Structure 1
Amino acid sequence: MTEPAPEQSQHSPPLTDSTAHLLARITDQLGAQLSLVSRNGTRRPMHRTRHPDRPAADGGTSAPALVAVAHGSRDPQALRTVLALLDRVRELRPGLDVRLGHIELNAPLLPDTLDGLRGAEAVLVPLLLGRGHHVKRDLPAATAAAPGVRTRIAAPLGPHPLLVEALYGRLVEAGWDRADHGGRHAAVVLAAAGSRDPDSAQDTRRTARLLAMRLGVPVVPAYASATTPTVPAALRALAARGRHRAFVASYFTAPGRFASACADAVPHRAAAPLGAHPAMARLVLHRYDQARTAVTSADAVSLLASA
């Protein structure tokens, strides 16, 4: 029952927030107009409409639930950070049903969250930063095991310019200043979890390129597991090239074992995980809107074909 949302071309510029919201409004309005036309061409009576994300009179919502899918961690800060991020999402979209499900280690687990949505619609938004095993295997398996929920799986959060803004903001908080660190001795290591999936590595490299353009200095991807280079190895390689003023950008949604291990390499120049940065909340909604718009557009085309 699950239909993964179509991926954007790697060669096409990503949609901006305003474009995604415009598309959502257009398709919502088209669906509303089509609902007024019956199959024999007569016009049905017009009823009072409301914003698609606001509660209906019976307490429900017309918009699918947003299920944020976090990895899970034994670090208690991880859950607190994800909950703070979802609070920001709710502030940006009042009335939207926002829920949380974990792949492992933390409650609620994703199957339990989906079980609580039986008979409803949901868009799963992975709080993951690239295409990897969890996005390609675990999420489709979880939705296949929950046939009572009509689901769509949104694209992972990365790569995207909003992630770059969040990374930049965290680096500034850690002491990055372009006037002081934009010279020929500066560099940044983009510390990621790591994956054996080549698509995941490609996504991390693309984010590194976007961040390098934002900062004006080299940005080198490094990994906590599964692949190389490690963060210490990347720092040594940069130092050998004369880049002694290297910061570590934490390419993690929330604190955890891998994020802490990467930060320990240069504790005085390591940024915090992305967490509840405002750009992250906007990106979660952007991915939700992308997947939801794809559903609405398909429904509209189907209605037009059958009218």
Structure 2
Amino acid sequence: MSILEKLKIIKHKNSGIIDFCIETIRFRKLLENASALLDFFEDGHGKILGEYILDRHYVTSLIENVLERLGMMIYDACVLAPESGEKLYTQYDKHKLKAWKLLRVDGYSEKKDFKNNEDSGSLTSMDPEYKLLAEVLKWLNGESSDPGSTVMDFMIQTYVCVLKCPEARDILKRESIFEGALSKEPGGNIYLVELWKDAVAPSNLRSPRSLDDINCIPLKYFLMDVHHGDSLPDFENGKKNVTWIAAASEYRLSLNTLKSDFRFRLEATASDYEKSNFIFIFADQSINIGNILPSGFHTENTNYGQFAWSLDAASETIEDNLILIGRNLFHKNVSQV
């Protein structure tokens, strides 16, 4: 039997696991593109403070880079939630139009202001570059009377579309998908998936697997104050215990509630490279994430749920944050959370 035939058999028997792994990897790419966008936002806000000498090239590059990354994020979203594709690309086209209008602004037409600033030997917010940058930042994540008109609003809308996708939600309700090929943590309530191995090698999962068998740095930090011996505590939501599914690799963790009455998702990267580290959290409205999060997280609330993230954290900070989130989440019951 050829390798291709074997892979076809694996996919046929374990398509649920493969679909779960693909969804997890694609969602991770979406978050990486979103993180790059947020870095652009932060850099632009740093430049507007007036401590830098701006040229028009910086501002136009910022616009172009945002547009490119936003397009990559929307592509990821449409792969994950194809039913939302038309709506998302319609909104993306509106943002492209806004970007092109900004790029066509003749910032040098206000020659009087520019000349006055040259004579004074200083660059201020009256310079055309600063004026254009201010307009760009207003488009990115400024206050607007038109809901959904900023890039930040569009990003949140995109998260919602992806997390509401029926196919992805259906996978997380089918515990049998994971029971057929995966073992629970002995005595606990968490399934463990090695993201890059288990989808194509389910035969390796015949014996029970403990947390020590998974080399995942963020998962170990997350459960450092939770995992004692071979068991994890039950987490009550009404009358039902919560089961978790953790998709892990060495530096990355994707944690979801599985077959639960409430929804919680955590994505984290914990490495020695600060720029790649982040924590992203989604929680439905039944959870007060203020009781879970450490300080320093950016939060956004929607009718569908709550989003929170922390980017570019030092390794010590990401470790401390994961330990605290795990402790708060598992050491409280849902009514407290």
The TM-score range, normalised by the shorter chain, is under 0.3
Structure with the largest fraction of helix: 2
Q: Which has the higher contact order (CA 8 A, sep 6+)?
A: 1
- Structure 1-normalised TM-score? 0.23
